[in-house]
Amino acid sequence: MDSLRIHEVGLRDGLQMESQVVPLETKISWIERLIAAGTDIIQVGSFVHPGKVPQMADTDQLFRELSSRNIRSERTVFSALVLNEKGLDRGLIAGVSMLCMGVSASETHSRKNTGMSIAEATERIIAIGKSAVNAGVKVQMSVQSAFGCGYEGPVPRERVLGIARRFMDAGFTTISLADTAGHAMPDAVEALFEGLRSTNDAAEFACHFHNTYGVGLANCFAALRVGVQYFESSIAGLGGCPFTKIAGGNVCTEDLVHMTQHMGLLPDVNLAQLIALATDVEAFFQRELPGTVHRVQPIPERVSGHHSNGSTH
C-alpha cells in the first residue's frame, strides 16, 4: 500500500463526456493546481480525432504550452491516451513521457470504440506500444471492459487474463484493468488482480473504476488489498466512456484521497487543494458533479484513542 499513486484522468476521461468545451487556459490552470496538490500522474488529454471527441482537439497545443511555459514538477508525470499510429506520432512529437493504450475484452465494445475485433486491436496496439517503448516512452497497457460489458454482460475472466498475458509477454510491465461499464465488484477485483499477479509478480498494476453502480471506492479498496499501485480517478468524479451503454462517472479523486488518507496513505497529497479545485470545476459546469467530499467536506482527522459513546442513524 505504501506505493499507492494517483493517476488523475479528469482532463481526458472526465471531459470527453462533456458538451461544454473547456478553454485551453482553464485546462492549464487546472493542471497547475493538480501539480500543486501533489498528484503523481496527470492525463493531459488524448490524441484522437477532434471531430469524434471535440474536448480533446487542443491536446497537441496543450502539451506545447505546458512545455513552453515550463509547467512541470519533479513529482508529476504527464500522460496521454493514444488509440492508433497517428495518435502515437502526435504523442511523440508532443514529447509525452507516458502513453496509455489498450484494447477491450468485449467484442462489441471493441468494435464500437475502435472498429476492430479484439484480436485485430490487440495485434495493432502491441505494435504501437513497442514503437513507443523504442522511442523511450513509458507505456501503460490497459484491458478495457475487464469486469463486464454494458452490451454483452459478463466478460470471461480468462479472456481478460489472456489479453493481459499477451501484453506482458510482449514486454510491457505496467498493466491496467479498466471497468469501462462499471460492473466490477470487490470480490471480482481481488480475484482478477490476483490472477494477474500470479502470471507476473514483477509487473506494476493499475486500476480504472467507474462508479456507475456506486461501488467505485469499494473496488479501489479491494484493489489496494491485493497490491495494485496505480489508481486512475477524476477530479469531482467527472467522466465516463461515451462508447459504452451506460456512461457512469469515474471514481472521484478527492473522495479516493480522503478515504486513503484516513488509512494513513498518500500523506503528501493536499486534499484541501483538491477539494477547492473540485468545487471550482463544479462551478465551471454549473451543475452538481458526482463527487461527495467537496460538498460535505472531509471527516476531521481521528484522535487516537477516542471512541464515540453513541451514535444516531
**Roughly what angle, to the nearest 10 degrees, separates helices 253-261 and 216-225?**
50
Residue whose C-alpha is closest to residue 103's, from 91, 113, 88, 92: 113
Three-state SS annotation for the chain: CCCCEEEECHHHHHCCCCCCCCCHHHHHHHHHHHHHCCCCEEEEEEECCCCCCHHHCCHHHHHHHHHHCCCCCCCCEEEEEECCHHHHHHHHHHCCCEEEEEEECCHHHHHHHHCCCHHHHHHHHHHHHHHHHHCCCEEEEEEECCCCECCCECCCHHHHHHHHHHHHHCCCCEEEEEECCCCCCHHHHHHHHHHHHHHCCCCEEEEEEECCCCCHHHHHHHHHHCCCCEEEEEHHHCCCCCCCCCCCCECEHHHHHHHHHCCCCCCCCCHHHHHHHHHHHHHHHCCCCCCCHHHHCCCCCCCCCCCCCCCCC
Give the count of alpha carbons within 13 A of 272, CB side only: 1
Residue 149 appears among annotated catalytic residues: no
Residue 24: φ, ψ to 5°:
-55, -45
Which sequence positions are flagged as catalytic? Answer: 241
